[in-house]
Structure 1
């Protein structure tokens, strides 16, 4: 890589009850970025910790300097909300995210930045190929989820669950994260940029040495439910009537065919159909079809009202005919206050 000045960088780390990892994490980040040739900031979001994590963070920030910024949430909102808060507050041209448990290695960040710049990517996600986690509780559910998410979303990533990612701020600030949607960030980004601008690279992964894991086998079921929402919003956010309409037309067609068959039985074969379960099934299908079609029309009205009232664009311009790159993002991205140059300390 050329030794030219690197883009400004914001490192976002959500933390929840990680008091034992506060000091080591901040030290590791400073060690990793000691030679970074550009301005950078460390932005740690405390997600309503109750074990003294906020106090430990503020003590470290006072020692390290103003480039270490602490954002404290009023209560525990969850990792997705904490990550979104950090992204909103970030000022860098590039944004790196990682977990606060030291299982992600901050030393991978400079290498990932070089890779993202060389390949001209908008998102580079880490791949924990040699993952140091429990096989049954973490690895197997994760592999199943990764394949399922890739198949449904069309964005083939080996490790959706890795929090170590590098984004261009102008791109990730166009994506809003809700619920527990941080697992599907590559899929959400693919709604803004083509999948060819999303890359993956092998990263280090360490076993947890302090604190308690916040994940369990139950999250597998939450992933499946969230995946349904991702599928719907990726394909039908701007045209929900198509989603409900396809279901309504399918059920209506089946119900209509059943009623035609029953009419043939009644009027041609002169058989009684009133006591047949098939008659009830046909009627239910037709009524359900009308409900789905009506829901589709109402969803279209709500969708159009939403887009008109919030003035959300249905497209994002990357370059105009004069070749100038378009500036996009949320309000924080347009601020003049950029991260301070920092020194490992």
Structure 2
């Protein structure tokens, strides 16, 4: 049975066709600073004249975060009955959003959330489908592990989409709700949901723009688990490459196996004329099987994307 979701809604503040921005905020034990962040976001959008709503998706906090948000009185509050992860919280909030655009960010005071009006203006000025805040430096936990891992994954992801990615997993972004709706089912429950959304847009040629932002030390305790979340992050990026562009993985692997088997065949013919080792034949079989698997995966991927595109037609 699916988990129940408790939703507290304010009276409608605007019709969906005039509500510009829905700010989706996942929270988990953020009672010490959540109101400061809510005030900062709300005041900046009001000052800029951006019609908006704020949705807080509380991921089963135990420190009174949800009660503080409810008492604040200017947000729609969704309370999850068990802890389901930041990716699930963002997905639920995005599906409940009513604005033309959706903003994602964290409430730990690390992102310059007062700059959301600038992100909205860039979306409308440029016609991009997503605007991402590209952090100029790393202030997260376990920097010795995270920095090289993020560099490697960013290079791998750039290989997939054939363009540089300044910041793959920034938590601060604004995107078009109707475009993101096509890819919400792909989002994992954990921290890699933001990189998954970036890759979904980029791999399908949706324009993504970047704005440099400062990144501060977070308030409160980090929920990032260095080994587990890094492993899941790497795995998710590889999964997305295999999903959207399988030949970018299987093609080079098949060519490498083909080159190795050909080199081994040359050695066999020189060392033992008219005799080919069994391992050489196995390498050739592995090369052609890998290529065939990649072609089948590519056909399947293109078929899925084609069906998604047809489903989006009016």
Kindly state the Cα deviation for residue 18 of structure 1 after the two structures are TM-superposed.
Answer: 1.7
Q: Offset at 1:88?
A: 1.2
Equivalent pair of 1:127/1:158 in contact (CA under 8 Å): yes
In structure 1, the residue matched to 2:279 is: 281
Deviation at 1:266, TM superposition (A): 6.0
Say which one has the larger Rg.
1
Report the alpha carbon displacement of residue 229 of structure 1 after superposing the two structures with TM: 1.7
Quote the Cα distance in structure 1 between the aligned partners of 2:255 and 2:88. Answer: 38
Judging changes above 3 Å, is the alpha-carbon distance between structure 1 residues 142 and 293 closer, same or farther for their aligned structure 2 residues?
Answer: closer
- Conserved in 2, the CA contact under 8 Å of 1:6 and 1:37? no
Aligned with residue 120 of structure 1, among 127, 130, 134: 127
2:176 counterpart of 1:168: yes
SS of residue in 1 equivalent to 2:197? helix
- 1:208 has 2:214 as partner: no
Aligned twin of 2:6: none
CA distance in 2, matches of 1:127, 1:299: 32
Q: Determine the C-alpha separation between the residues in 2 that align with 1:199 and 1:56.
A: 35
> Residue 109 of structure 1: CA displacement?
0.6
Select 2:104's aligned residue among 94, 97, 110. 97
Decide whether the 8 Å contact of 1:112 with 1:166 is kept in 2.
Answer: yes
CA distance in structure 2 between the aligned counterparts of 1:290 and 1:109, rounded to whole angstroms: 50
Q: CA deviation at 1:46?
A: 1.7
| 2:82 equivalent in structure 1 | 75
State the superposition RMSD in angstroms.
Answer: 3.6
Q: Which residue of structure 1 lines up, in the alignment, with residue 194 of structure 2?
A: 182
Distance 1:21 1:303, change over 3 A: same
Unaligned runs of 5+ in 1: 317-325, 328-345
Q: How big is the shift at 1:216?
A: 4.7
Match for residue 17 of structure 1 among 13, 16, 29: 29
Does the 8 A contact of 1:141 with 1:217 survive in 2?
no
- Greater RCO structure (CA 8 Å; 6+ sep): 1
Q: Which residue is equivalent to 2:70?
A: 58
**Superposition pairs for residues 331-342 of structure 1, below 5 Å?**
none
Tell me the CA shift for residue 106 of structure 1. 2.1
TM-score (norm 2): 0.75
Partner deviation per Cα, 1:212-255 (whole Å, 9 max, x = no partner): 1112543444333222222222213xxx7x96577557646754
Q: Does 1:313 align with 2:309?
A: yes
